[in-house]
Structure 1
Amino acid sequence: MTEQSGGRRVVTNMSLSLDGHYAGRDPLDMSWVMPYAHTDVARDHMAGLLEAATTALLGRVNAEGFLGFWPTVIGMEGVDPRDEEFAKWLVGAEKVVLSSTLGEAPAPAPWERTTIVDKPTAEVVADLKATEGGDILVLSSASVIKALLAADQVDRLAITVFPVFLGDGPRLFDDGLPAGKWTLVSQSAGEHGTLALVYDRVR
């Protein structure tokens, strides 16, 4: 696994609708994502984020969802190799789950290498950045990403934009975020109009 010589980066990844929402009125209904998440551009986007990442940082809800589904993909007949690679990465990576309700990681598989932390997000990330390792990848956990954006702790912002209007629901970018500049480091467009964008924070 790759380690960052200049310190660990915090990389956040989120899917957004064209009108700027990461979920509709029902935050648990992700059916709007599915037609686009299986495109080559979305899969390649995720594969690129994994190359330098050694730690997954998740909120409790996403951790339970991700670890409940992705390990079942491993060895599945006809699975896309990129999906299986992500599943294997997730199981094998260090996982840090932010939760005030989980006392400890459920046992055993696929929660190996999982630490449950009940501390402010910014403090947890500061602690992780003080250790050795590769990128700290935040996987679609909106509450975690929002806290990191508010604390100006995001080094790389990865977004997939799907060509659908949800019309309502929570937004990723709240008013009052710290002012700052970002530079576009990669962009790709693909099937169904899916757009993958990666920005680095200019400091």
Structure 2
Amino acid sequence: MSEVTPARAGRRVGAEVTVSMDGYSSTGSEDDMSWAMDHISSGQSEIYYEGIWRGVGTAVLGRTNWVGFTSVWPAITNDPSSSARTRDLGNWLATVEKVVFSTTLTQEDLEKSEWTNARVSADVESEVAALRNRPGRDILVLNSASIIRTLLRADLIDDLYLTVVPSTLGSGRRVLPDDYASKWQLASATAFPSSGAVALHYQRPGE
């Protein structure tokens, strides 16, 4: 997952999110992702994202993404018309260690899903700090703006993967906090001609 030598010991924490040109990752509680689907559904996006998730041993997500992902991904994974990369991603999502941050979901709720190896937690900072000190492959936050904001403020994100889609939303959920100041270095930039999106991988400067 990392092109630059880690500056800090332990597992690296990455955050992957798709944003609009004006910095929103979603339109709110009733999220309509049609603005990003040209990119998300493209073969170029599959190849790029595979380069991230295959190095990850723990996935982190919030309640909204857990509910949304588990409602659609099992069918996509089992659909014979899905690409091999899509099915691989679906199988990874179903089996990789997952930590779901929520104050309303219970462990019993998670166990109703076809996905396995998931547990609920409420304390984002303490949980991720503990995860990064455990042995294993890297940790990835899956498109959850509120979790990313919390971890940025706590200085717990090492790799920030921002895919900028050529759309503006005007309002919604922002990924970067308004009161957050920081410095990053560009590790890589990838253009997607078919969708017009650009993926920017930033890392914290070496200490």
Shared fold per TM-score greater than 0.5: yes
1:200 corresponding residue in structure 2:
203
- Mapped contact 1:152–1:178 kept (Cα < 8 A): no
Q: How many residues align?
A: 199
SS of alignment partner, residue 45 of structure 2 = helix
Please point out which of 26, 47, 52 is paired with 1:49.
52
Residue 136 of structure 1 pairs with residue 139 of structure 2: yes
For structure 2, the 5+ residue unaligned runs are: 1-5
Distance 2:81 2:106 in 1: 37
SS of residue matched to 2:31: coil
Is 2:85 aligned against 1:89? Answer: no
1:112 counterpart (113, 116, 120):
116
Counterparts in 2 of 1:93 and 1:105: CA distance versus 1, 3 Å = farther
* Other structure's SS at 1:33 match: helix
Q: Is the contact made by 2:12 and 2:158 (CA closer than 8 Å) also made in structure 1?
A: yes
TM-score, normalised with respect to structure 2:
0.88
51-60 or 76-85, which deviates more: 76-85
Counterpart secondary structure, 1:159? strand
Task: Give the TM-score normalised by the residue count of structure 1.
Answer: 0.89
Name the structure 2 match of 1:191. 194
1:21 matched residue in structure 2? 24
> For each residue in 1:21-66, what CA deviation from the matched residue of structure 2 results, as whole angstroms up to 9, or x when unmatched?
1123665211212122112332122111112101110111111111
Q: Give CA-to-partner distance per residue, 1:102-136, whole Å, 9 cap, x none.
A: 221432442321111122x1111011112111111
Match for residue 153 of structure 2? 150
| 8 Å contact kept, 1:42–1:194 | no
Among all aligned residue pairs of Structure 1 and Structure 2, give the percentage whose two residues are the same amino acid.
33
